[in-house]
């Protein structure tokens, strides 16, 4: 089995739990692991949590680069356009959705809004496609129950959950005082207006 490949609960390789760069390239494929990617070269990240958590701790990156001829060149460590997402793309999209949802959660939620948000969060450990990710998030939610009292509290709780993963991976943590700037209002310089 290639380094970084994650096995699913069924004992088979879990495609949605594994970063694309860690899938063994098929013969004849023009997609090769990135030589700059330490996990593809050395195989040092064999821990399933480390591999899956990369999705939750990864910073958002673009999926294309531009060559000198200005033709798009797709990154060899990400699935080509039109392919199902890998664990890192799914993780970035999920965190974006969750942080943005928290940014627009009411300051004074109704009991129905609280119940709906709790149901959404509790659904992740049950329904999230990556079983490793789901299990880890479920464990973290049991230890650190969500604060659904209002928008600011929920945004902070979610930021802290995301930072917990960043710490596990040795990644930089996000300043939770800047959640509105990042996920709702945009920076004060107006570049997002």
Domain containing 107 equals: 87-184
| Dihedral angle computed from the Cα positions of residues 72, 77, 82 and 85, in that order, rounded to the nearest 10 degrees | -140
For residue 60, what is the DSSP state? P
Domain assignment of residue 151, yes or no: yes
Number of domains in the chain: 1
What is the pTM assigned to this prediction? 0.73
Q: Evaluate if residue 76 carries a pLDDT over 70.
A: yes
User: How do residues 125-175 score in pLDDT, each as one tens digit?
Assistant: 999 999 988 999 999 999 999 999 999 999 999 999 999 988 887 789 999
Q: Which residues contact 187 (CB under 8 A, 6 or more apart)?
A: 181
| Dihedral angle computed from the Cα positions of residues 135, 136, 140 and 146, in that order, rounded to the nearest 10 degrees | -70
Domain assignment of residue 110, yes or no: yes
User: How do residues 103-124 score in pLDDT, each as one tens digit?
Assistant: 999 999 999 999 999 999 999 9
Q: How far apart are CA 149 and CA 105, in angstroms?
A: 10
Domain assignment of residue 166, yes or no: yes
Q: Evaluate if residue 51 carries a pLDDT over 60.
A: no
Residue 105: give its domain's CATH number.
Answer: 1.20.120.310
Domain assignment of residue 71, yes or no: no
């Amino acid at each position: 089995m290639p380094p970084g490949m994650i096995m699913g609960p069924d004992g088979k390789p879990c495609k949605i739990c594994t970063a694309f760069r860690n899938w063994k390239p098929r013969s004849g494929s023009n997609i090769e692991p990135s030589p700059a990617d330490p996990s593809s070269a050395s195989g040092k990240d064999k821990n399933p949590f480390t591999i899956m958590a990369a999705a939750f701790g990864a910073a958002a990156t673009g999926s294309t680069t531009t060559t000198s001829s200005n033709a798009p060149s797709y990154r060899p460590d990400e699935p080509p356009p039109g392919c199902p997402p890998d664990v890192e793309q799914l993780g970035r999209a999920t965190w974006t959705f969750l942080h943005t949802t928290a940014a627009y959660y009411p300051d004074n939620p109704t009991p129905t809004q609280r119940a709906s948000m709790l149901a959404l969060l509790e659904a992740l450990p049950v329904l999230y496609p990556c079983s490793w990710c789901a299990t880890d998030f479920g464990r973290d939610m049991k230890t650190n129950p969500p604060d659904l009292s209002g928008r600011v509290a929920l945004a902070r709780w979610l930021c802290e959950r995301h930072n917990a993963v960043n710490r596990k991976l040795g990644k930089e943590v996000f300043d939770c005082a800047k959640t509105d700037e990042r996920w709702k209002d945009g920076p004060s310089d107006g570049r997002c207006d």
